[in-house]
Amino acid sequence: MQGYQITFFTHQDKRHKGKPLADWLVHLAQELGLSGATLIPGGEGFGHHRRIHSARFFELADQPQEVLVAATAEETERLFARLKAEGVHLFYVKTPVEFGVLGESS
């Protein structure tokens, strides 16, 4: 299939509707019927404000996180329409990709 890999960048303490934003994004992808989403915790990073975000031994609230989604063009349109309607402020990278599944499911 042809579509997009979308990577959303956030951090542990960013919230939407009372839930951690990264968790909310994964559940939104499921609600919209996308094939999958993966939340990946990061060790350290920085954003457009040039401030370092990192996972510290005692404080994980500032831990960087990525949510990766592979979606068709139509799924991507629905996802971005919903994010716009929800008023979510979020940095992302959207890259054209080919994706699919190999082998038989076990």
Overall domain count for the chain: 1
Read off the pLDDT of residues 17-49 as tens digits, 9 standing for 90 and up.
999 999 999 999 999 999 889 998 765 655 556
- Residue 2, pLDDT > 70, answer yes
User: Which residues are registered as beta bridge partners of 45?
Assistant: 53
Q: For the domain that residue 78 is a member of, what is the CATH number?
A: 3.30.70.120
Stated as kind and residue range, the H or E segment containing 60 is none
More confident position, 51 or 6: 6
pLDDT of residue 81: 98
List pLDDT tens digits, range 35-90: 889 998 765 655 556 555 555 545 555 678 899 999 999 999 999 999 999 999 99
Q: Do 70 and 35 meet the contact criterion of CB atoms below 8 Å apart?
A: yes
Residue 10 lies in a domain: yes
84 in a structural domain:
yes
CB 18 within 8 A of CB 12: no
